[in-house]
């Protein structure tokens, strides 16, 4: 295996990791506010189908992305109403959202199967930086959504740890009654976090249908939403580690594909299992770690907030 081949695998890994990165960042925001949303898979699918629909018919990928953000946000709003206002089970509501999104996207996309895309995100080399040996080809010869995702990581890191809004968001996930006592509106903060989280899941879906494999196929997210949820635990709710995890995952996935092309004598189905097995193992290892360090998990995660019961 020569260097160019390794570079190609790593560059493809960044692309494969990007939809998961968007979804993971969304889930980090949601869980930081104390709400678990297992509907990521469903939100991604609805994002993917609406992005492809609008992007293809308006021939404008940006409009497609915008609509995916809105669609993901609206999906998340359902979860917010059920879990924040009605204080129902977050696990069950998230599952319902995934089931609903799978069906809704299949329904909306029924006439889109096999239609070629008209406007997609293509690689744009950054002048200068893309000339750096090795790294240039891996990181600076990608599409705009990849660059945006990296900028988003930086922004989120800044907001989380350097601003009052971030402090408030984290506090809501740790100790909502204290934040409430200070006079802040818990319900508003949680609604906002869940909706923004859904918008980013929608963006992850848009990446699938407008950049990663520009098309619409039923169930095209193929479990990436679940992998994104698992990566949040790996990331210890830190956007920087979400980036690391998503790219690591992407590289594993692209390695699987390339091993096949290289003619390695492993049946392709086992290589297809690789990302899921890898995520499972990572989930187990990181949960054990976090447990030992007793840090990371927002203390109020999954617990409905009610003023009268505080």
Nearer of residues 131 and 219 to another protein, judged by Cβ: 219
Separation CA 205–CA 42 (nearest Å) = 9
**Strand locations in the chain, DSSP E?**
123-125, 141-143
Write down the least CB distance from residue 226 to another protein, Å.
Answer: 5
- We find the least distance from the C-beta atom of residue 218 to another protein, in angstroms, to be 6
Contacts of 85 by beta carbon, 8 Å cutoff, 6+ apart: 187
Q: Which residues of 160-171 are buried (b: 16+ CB within 10 A; e: fewer)?
A: beeeeebeebbb
CB 281 within 8 A of CB 245: no
| Percent composition of the chain: helix, strand, coil (DSSP 3-state, to 5) | 75, 0, 25
- Residue 150 CB, shortest distance to another protein, in Å, is 25
Strand partners, 143: 123
Structure-block tokens of residue 212 = 């990663």
Binding site for another protein (CB under 8 A): 38, 42, 78, 81-82, 86-89, 91-93, 95-104, 106-108, 110, 218-219, 222-223, 226-227, 229-230, 233, 267, 269-270, 272-273, 276-277, 279-280, 283-284, 287-288, 291, 306-308
Q: How far is the CB of 136 from another protein (least distance, A)?
A: 34
Question: Which of 244, 283 has the CB closer to another protein?
Answer: 283
DSSP 8-state code for residue 89: -
Q: Which is nearer to another protein, 131 or 268 (CB)?
A: 268
| Distance in Å, CB of 108 to another protein, minimum | 7
Nearer to another protein by Cβ, of 88 and 260: the residue is 88
Pick 110 or 122: Cβ nearer another protein: 110
Residue among 174 and 218 whose Cβ is closer to another protein = 218
What's the min distance (Å) between Cβ of 140 and another protein?
Answer: 33
Closest to another protein by CB, 6 or 95: 95
Burial class, 100, CB count within 10 angstroms (exposed 0-12 / middle 13-18 / buried 19+):
middle
For another protein, the closer of residues 121 and 305 by Cβ is: 305
Q: What is the 3-state secondary structure (H, E, C) of 19-62?
A: HHHHHHHHHHHHHHCCCCCCCHHHHHHHHHHHHHHHHHHHCCHH
> Do 146 and 14 touch, CB atoms closer than 8 A?
yes
**Least Å from the CB of residue 275 to another protein:** 8
Specify the residue, 98 or 142, whose C-beta has the smaller distance to another protein.
Answer: 98
Least separation, in Å, of the C-beta of 71 and another protein? 12
Q: How far is the CB of 89 from another protein (least distance, A)?
A: 6
CA dihedral 228, 229, 230, 231 (to 10 degrees): 50
Counting Cβ atoms within 10 Å, is residue 43 exposed (0-12), middle (13-18) or buried (19+)? buried
How many other CB atoms sit within 10 Å of the CB of residue 176?
25
């Amino acid at each position: 295996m020569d260097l160019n081949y390794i570079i190609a695998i790593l560059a493809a890994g960044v692309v494969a990791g990007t939809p998961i990165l968007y979804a993971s960042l969304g889930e980090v925001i949601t869980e930081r506010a104390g709400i678990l949303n297992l509907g990521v898979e469903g939100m991604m699918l609805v994002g993917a189908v609406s992005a492809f629909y609008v992007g293809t018919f308006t021939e404008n990928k940006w409009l497609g992305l915008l609509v995916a953000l809105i669609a993901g946000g609206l999906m998340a709003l359902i979860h917010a109403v059920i879990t924040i206002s009605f204080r129902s089970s977050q696990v069950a509501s998230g599952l319902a959202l995934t089931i609903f999104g799978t069906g809704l996207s299949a329904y909306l996309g029924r006439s889109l199967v096999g239609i070629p895309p008209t406007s997609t995100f293509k690689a744009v080399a950054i002048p200068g930086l893309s000339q750096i040996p090795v790294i240039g080809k891996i990181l600076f010869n990608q599409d705009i959504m990849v660059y945006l995702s990296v900028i988003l990581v930086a922004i989120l890191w800044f907001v989380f740890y350097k601003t009052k809004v971030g402090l408030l968001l984290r506090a809501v996930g740790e100790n909502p009654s204290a934040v409430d006592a200070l006079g802040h509106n818990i319900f508003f903060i949680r609604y906002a976090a869940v909706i923004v989280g859904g918008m980013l899941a929608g963006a992850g879906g848009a990446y699938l249908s407008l950049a990663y494999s520009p098309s619409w196929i039923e169930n095209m997210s193929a479990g990436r939403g679940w992998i994104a949820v698992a990566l949040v635990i790996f990331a210890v709710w830190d956007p920087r580690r979400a980036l690391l995890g998503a790219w690591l995952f992407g590289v594993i996935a692209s390695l699987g594909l390339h091993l096949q092309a290289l003619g390695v004598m492993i049946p392709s189905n086992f290589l297809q299992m690789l990302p899921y097995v890898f995520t499972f193992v990572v989930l187990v290892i990181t949960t054990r770690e976090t447990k030992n360090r007793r840090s990371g998990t927002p203390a109020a995660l999954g617990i409905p907030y009610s003023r009268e019961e505080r």
